[in-house]
Amino acid sequence: MEFESNNSYYTPLGDGPSTVPNNSFITYAALGAATLAALYLSFKLLDRRSLVDKEGNNIPAGPKGFPILGSFFSLTQYPEVTLDQWAKKFGDLYSLWLGNQLFVIVSSPEIVKDLIVTNGAVFSSRKEMYVKSQTVFVGRGITATPYNDRWRKHRRIASTWLNQRAVDSYTNILDSEATVLIKAMYQESRGGQVPINPQPHAGRASLNNMLSIVFGTRTGSIYHPLVGQALKISREFMNVTGPMSNLVDFVPFLQNLPNPMRQRGEKLHQKLVDTYGGMIKDIDSRMQMGEGVPDCLAKTMIESKNEEEMDDLDMAILASAFMIGGVETTAAIMQWFSALIPAYPEIQKRAHEELDRVVGRDRMPTVDDEKNLPFCHAIVKEVERCHNPFWLGTPHVASDDFTYKGNFIPKGTVVVLNTFTMHHDPTRHANPDKFDPERYIRDNLTSAESANLADPYERDHWMFGAGRRICPGMIVAEREIWLTISRMLWAFTMEALPNEPIDLKEYDGLSGRSPVPFRVNLIPRDNKVAQVLALEEAPA
């Protein structure tokens, strides 16, 4: 199959500033028919605002918003900041409207546990968003599907490649890709002589891990055409499918008008089918010709497609969910780490001392070393707390009416975990805006273990979501993040360029977020680095 040769990952803002909403309200407003529909809807909306249950309990209070649009335009730029301000005003459980859709915003660990975990039978569905679910994923794929038998089947199949035993079986691949990453960074920076943009390197490391798991293949360099193409697809996905960014998702009459988001969604859908569906077809043909194919998700799906009643589209979209969910996310954490750490020489120094004491200079840290490197482990968790790539997560939906402590949550309400507020709660994280790994120094659990703690206030962070839809890729994600970050720390002293400050506020992406491109100096810590990376012969 052919891949477009496109290295646009160097300029990921190619589709315009990503923090601007995707729909042009002006275009829609120009259409006269909208006025009548608007009036009708505003009456309906007023009706819904007074929703009550049988006992007369109201929906939680919240910002009023505007007729028709609700609070849409308050949430276009840095929505997590607005949600945080409203949490301070309206409390840990409040509501808002976007168009005809009611949202409930949950900002405390206790309420997340009570609703999403304890009442998972009610709060584990997804809204079939017009752009993301209906147009891009066409009702398939594990991420966006409602809580039904198709989701259960896809989650079960996904888990066979993401559970602890599976991850243990391919940890050698994650380990080798982490070494390749360090080597490529070393080489591109010419042993620390020129600054580099870590983005394509982080992207390729994550991409190669997912390519191995899903298709049993990998790319040989950041210039392989699949790197540019896959990262471009993931980036477009992040910019097209924000949980609160598409007005057309919430104002249904817009779906019948000429619609740029539908076109972008359809194009993206086709790219997914052509790229990842095409790779599955290649594997299928090779298997039919009796060629040996490495074990991978695609092979599992092809072998069991009759028994599991999966068609080609099911397989293409499930593979796409891995390629999207598993690439930008882990790569974003590696990038946030690389953006943050140059500002903290004293933290690097302490990490270097720990690494030298526990691991030494003759080898790089491994998965087994993590338990003996509490400060490096704490750095990873603190990066995740400060820079969750999905502040709004993937919202859940109530599949039934529910009343929680006098607050009515009607069936169909979208429930958002307000992770920004929870990650910045000063009662749990003193001085929350400070990057301070020390706060996790006594946390010796993985995030997967932490998610199972009985006390939700003890959980490390909420980056992976919660309940029955919690990220099934947590174990592999953590392992690859550990290997890459601990090895970057082991190999380099990371420094910002004197005249190029690294922007930690702006970010790229609407559903997921990663830093805007930046460059860093990666100074090898000593000449052992080249030897351990097998770039230089060890002295006799």
Cα(359)–Cα(529) distance, integer angstroms = 13
Complex with ligand HEM: residue 327 or 529, whichever CB lies closer: 327
Alpha-helix residue ranges (DSSP H) falling in 122-170: 149-162, 164-169
Q: Is residue 239 near ligand HEM by the rule CB under 6 A?
A: no
Cα(74)–Cα(437) distance, integer angstroms = 33
Integer distance in angstroms from the first to the last C-alpha of the chain? 47
* CA-to-CA dists, residue 252 to 84, 127, 237, 434, angstroms: 28, 13, 21, 42
Those residues whose C-beta lies under 8 Å from the C-beta of residue 46, and which sit 6 or more positions away, are 67
* CA-to-CA dists, residue 176 to 168, 367, 537, angstroms: 14, 12, 20
CB of 512 to ligand HEM, least distance (A): 8
Total residues binding ligand HEM (CB under 6 A): 28
Print the binding letters for residues 279-318 with ligand HEM: x by CB under 6 A, - otherwise.
----------------------------------------
Q: Is residue 333 near ligand HEM by the rule CB under 6 A?
A: yes
Q: Is residue 532 near ligand HEM by the rule CB under 6 A?
A: no
Q: Is residue 338 near ligand HEM by the rule CB under 6 A?
A: no
CB of 176 to ligand HEM, least distance (A): 17
CB of 144 to ligand HEM, least distance (A): 7
CB 373 within 8 A of CB 352: no
Complex with ligand HEM: residue 185 or 417, whichever CB lies closer: 417
Q: Is residue 203 near ligand HEM by the rule CB under 6 A?
A: no
Question: Among 393, 456, 515, 524, which residue sits at the site for ligand HEM (rule: CB under 6 A)?
Answer: 393
Question: Among 250, 322, 336, 440, which residue sits at the site for ligand HEM (rule: CB under 6 A)?
Answer: 322
Q: Is residue 235 near ligand HEM by the rule CB under 6 A?
A: no
Cα(428)–Cα(534) distance, integer angstroms = 44
Complex with ligand HEM: residue 116 or 251, whichever CB lies closer: 116
Question: Among 222, 316, 359, 476, which residue sits at the site for ligand HEM (rule: CB under 6 A)?
Answer: 476
Q: Is residue 469 near ligand HEM by the rule CB under 6 A?
A: yes
The full 3-state SS of 334-345, as one line of letters, equals HHHHHHHHHHCH
Q: Encoding tokens for residue 330? A: 């882990």
CB 97 within 8 A of CB 69: no
Complex with ligand HEM: residue 101 or 189, whichever CB lies closer: 101
Burial class (CB in 10 A: 0-12, 13-18, 19+), 292: exposed
Query: For the chain, how are helix, strand and coil distributed in percent, rounded to 5?
Result: 50, 10, 40
Burial class (CB in 10 A: 0-12, 13-18, 19+), 158: buried
Question: Among 466, 485, 530, 532, which residue sits at the site for ligand HEM (rule: CB under 6 A)?
Answer: 466
Which residues are documented as binding site for heme? 471
Q: Is residue 167 near ligand HEM by the rule CB under 6 A?
A: no
Stretch that binds ligand HEM, among 197-205, 391-399, 449-457, 532-540 (CB under 6 A): 391-399
Question: Among 68, 129, 142, 529, which residue sits at the site for ligand HEM (rule: CB under 6 A)?
Answer: 142
Cα(439)–Cα(507) distance, integer angstroms = 25
Which residues are documented as binding site? 471
CB of 129 to ligand HEM, least distance (A): 13
> Which residues form the interface with ligand HEM (CB under 6 A)?
142-143, 155, 158, 162, 321-322, 325-326, 329-330, 333, 389-390, 393-394, 396, 463-466, 469-473, 476-477
